[in-house]
Amino acid sequence: MTEIPWKTYTENQKFSCFDESTEKDWNGNFYFVQTADIQFGLIQRYLENNPQPGWAKETALAELAVEKVNRMRPRPRFMVMCGDLCDAFPEQQPELREQQEKEFKRIFSKLHQDIPLVCVCGNHDVGDEPTAKSVQAYRNSFGDDYFTFWCGGIFFIVINSQFLWDSSKVQDIAQEHEEWLNCVLAEAKKNKVKRAMVFQHIPWFLYSPDENESNYFCLNLETRMKWMDKLREAGVQYTFCGHYHQNAGGAYKDLRVVTTSAMGGQLGKDSPGVRVVRVQERTVDHVYYSLENIPSVIQVDQPE
């Protein structure tokens, strides 16, 4: 058996393209590709209600995405998958999970070597109620579940929103995550970081910061109010999320919360796709493309 070549960005395994000494400063317009929820296994299990596990549809979608993203010019600085990499919960179905992860890595290792894949942890990746065991299994397979990096003058913060959803079985690990995030945000505020973005799985809210807190698809009101001003004060202007399997978005003051539909199974009227986020010197814009329509040329210098 040949070893699956696998690369993912983590704090411990820094790609040279995210070298802080060169990436902290603005170095011209660029873009990245943001997506979420390829979730190998969801379509057959949930949308088709098929008792036999399988993920042929996700395989075809992921292969199309990799092929299209590899064709993009100039190349994106990175691609980020905002959680739910696979469908099977690690504690309930570890063997099935292992097969799905193998498929995820088989396909995404075909991304061009100059396009790092940043993986974010979703609820299906550690369970709705994460445990020490499920978190460790994720870290063993994908690396860190929370970290920061600089790219093109923007400070990126990857968080594990599952600790904000339900920390009942992982209070000590969730506490470490909270202390780390407080520290990162305080440091960014102290250093007057001007442009920062967050990647997470579960959105703070879908459309409006004061919407109903009993929604399965976003974090509750108390949690979001605890963090959103801290994010703003640390220079965070955008937070990109997944989990909803539909596109959504809204703003809290000057913090924009952008929810991107799934690369895999849909729960609304969107098509499987990715979001292209262009970063210019003073502005950011983003467009969701279905996989078939991912453009091969991105005009990074064209004014908005």
Tell me which residues touch Fe ion (CB under 5 A): 84, 122-123, 243
Task: Please state the closest distance from residue 37 (CB atom) to Fe ion, in A.
Answer: 6
Nearer to Fe ion, 117 or 218 (CB): 218
Count of CA atoms in the C-beta half-sphere (13 A) of 149? 25
List all residues 6 or more positions away from 71 whose beta carbon is below 8 Å from its beta carbon: 296
Nearer to Fe ion, 38 or 181 (CB): 38
What residues does 149 pair with on adjacent strands? 156
Nearer to Fe ion, 82 or 117 (CB): 82
Task: Please state the closest distance from residue 42 (CB atom) to Fe ion, in A.
Answer: 9
Specify the pairing of strand 273-279 against strand 30-35. Answer: antiparallel
Task: Please state the closest distance from residue 256 (CB atom) to Fe ion, in A.
Answer: 20
* DSSP letters for 181-250: HHHHHHHHHHTT---EEEE-SS-S-SS-TTS-TT-TTS--HHHHHHHHHHHHHTTEEEEEE-SSSS-EEE
Nearer to Fe ion, 61 or 298 (CB): 61
Specify the pairing of strand 79-81 against strand 117-119. Answer: parallel
Nearer to Fe ion, 243 or 275 (CB): 243
Nearer to Fe ion, 122 or 152 (CB): 122
CA dist list (Å): 212 to 243, 248, 255: 17, 15, 19
Which residue's Cβ has the minimum distance to Fe ion? 243
What values do phi and psi take at 279, rounded to 5?
A: -115, 115
3 state SS of 278: strand
Task: Please state the closest distance from residue 162 (CB atom) to Fe ion, in A.
Answer: 9
Cα 34 versus chain centre, distance = 7
CA-based torsion, 81, 60, 109, 93: positive or negative: positive
Nearer to Fe ion, 174 or 298 (CB): 174
Task: Please state the closest distance from residue 125 (CB atom) to Fe ion, in A.
Answer: 9
Task: Please state the closest distance from residue 201 (CB atom) to Fe ion, in A.
Answer: 6
Task: Please state the closest distance from residue 170 (CB atom) to Fe ion, in A.
Answer: 17
